Amino acid sequence: MLNMIFAWVLVIQIFFFSFCFFFPPIHGSLQSTDTKHDKGLHLMSRISLPPSPAPEAVSPSYNPTTIFNVRSYGAIGDGVTDDTQAFKLAWDTACQTEDSEVLVPKGHTFMIQSTIFTGPCKPGVKMQIDGTLMPPDGPDSWPRNNSKRQWLVFYRINEISMQGTGVIDGRGEKWWNLPCKPRKGFTGTTQPGPCDSPVAIRFFMSSNLSVIGLKVKNSPQFHFRFDNCQNVYIESLNIKAPALSPNTDGIHIENTNNVKLYNSVISNGDDCVSIGAGCYNVEIRNITCGPSHGISIGSLGIRNSRACVSNITVKDSIIKHSDNGVRIKTWQGGSGSVSRVTFQNIHMDTVRNPILLDQYYCLTKKCPNQTSAVHISDILYSKIKGTYDVRSPPMHFACSDSMPCTNLTLSEVELLPAQGKFVSNPICWSAYGTVQTLTIPPVFCLLGGTPEMLPQNGNERC
């Protein structure tokens, strides 16, 4: 009997032990000194726990740009070696890739010959210029088979940006003795200069452009030129050349529309900004200009050509130590019109001709008189204040006899001599308009109303 009881107790103990081993408690803590047994318990516990939430789907990684470093294509960047072919190869490859970047790395100086970077390209190509770019050194080093009218050209490209922290050095010093403008010869006579000094950077027949943050200096001729372009955004440029460097316009636009130019500093030997024929919807704001020849519309109508310019705004800017401030200049004999132009909130600091409208523009001062002219109308000069160089009157409106200027408006114009107390009187000729507020100096020479007769041949219409 005793043996039977002992057997049943042993069976119960074995059953209880097996139950605890195979069905451990889910809740509460379990202490054990057996490491292997403890691992087994934790394994069973993990299996018994409810599953964790499924992980969120991971979005595919997106690389915004594919970078093409010019040094990876053979560019040396020592300032001596010709790196033109490496740049062209990098460009041609990037051009066929959407959202691509041609990288000009910092710490290197790249010498490039006259080159055309041609499109069309896939959208989103970018020139990231963090190093230094420069052309051959002067006319004698320029290859004979290369164009001497332009250095870097971007042609037929839609959606391109050019930006960076680097420098574009035009090395123009040896070209400046060969200006395109007529100049005085050794005998005192006027001699024509050759018109083959290169523009540093030209955008031609392109659209949706942005140029941001670059430093450009010492171009042989214009620093930037935009021809037949649309939707152009320019910001935070620093353009610099000596005050006596000829034809070194900072930014020239022609046959180009929808342009925004903001927050830039320009000093050079010609116009900070020049607006040629065929331009409309141009906004220029927060420009520090000078020494220079100011901000100009024109010259227009040369060689009896037709010119149309409209919807131009220049505002919130400073022009200092310059030959001109805001200027409109046309040749005799032209046709077309300049209309709807606003010059507003501009500070002049020792500017020789702060406000200049000249329809008798002529480089040699021996141009023949002609009867036709570009018609100028609807021009607003508002909040133009500061000082002028006493060598010239502060306001000069010289309009065509046959095509007078109409609807000129002056408001809050205050211009005082930079030296002395004598205030020069403004000059007006065939200029019609109104003075909305008292001006300094007073403007009494504008003609009221409209001319009795304006030519009705339609040549002035655009």
**Mind telling me the catalytic residues?**
293
In order, the DSSP letters of 390-431 are TTS-SEEEE--SSS-EEEEEEES-EEEESSSSPPPPPEEESE
The conformation of residue 246, written as its DSSP 8-state character, comes to T
For residue 167, what are the β-bridge partners?
132, 215
Cβ 351 vs Cβ 389: under 8 Å: yes
What gap in Å lies between CA 235 and CA 241, rounded to an integer? 19
- DSSP 3-state of 123: coil
Q: Which amino acid is at 270?
A: D
The conformation of residue 27, written as its DSSP 8-state character, comes to S
- DSSP 3-state of 370: coil
Q: Which residues contact 462 (CB under 8 A, 6 or more apart)?
A: 308, 310, 336, 337, 339
Cβ 385 vs Cβ 414: under 8 Å: yes
Continuous segment of H or E residues that includes residue 136 = none
Note if the bond before 120 is cis, omega within 30 degrees.
yes
What gap in Å lies between CA 317 and CA 264, rounded to an integer? 10
Mark residue 452 as left, alpha or beta (left: phi above 0; alpha: psi -120 to 50; beta: remaining): alpha
Q: CA 191, 196, 200: angle at the middle one, nearest 5?
A: 130
Q: Which amino acid is at 237?
A: L
Q: What are phi and psi of 374, to 5 degrees?
A: -70, 130
Q: Cα–Cα distances in Å, from 72 out to 69, 87, 90? A: 5, 10, 8
Return the CA Rg of the chain: 36
Q: Which amino acid is at 259?
A: V
What gap in Å lies between CA 9 and CA 189, rounded to an integer? 134
Question: What is the 3-state composition of the chain as percent helix, strand, coil, each rounded to the nearest 5?
Answer: 10, 40, 45
Do the bridges between strand 190-191 and strand 183-184 make them parallel or antiparallel, or are there none, so unpaired?
antiparallel
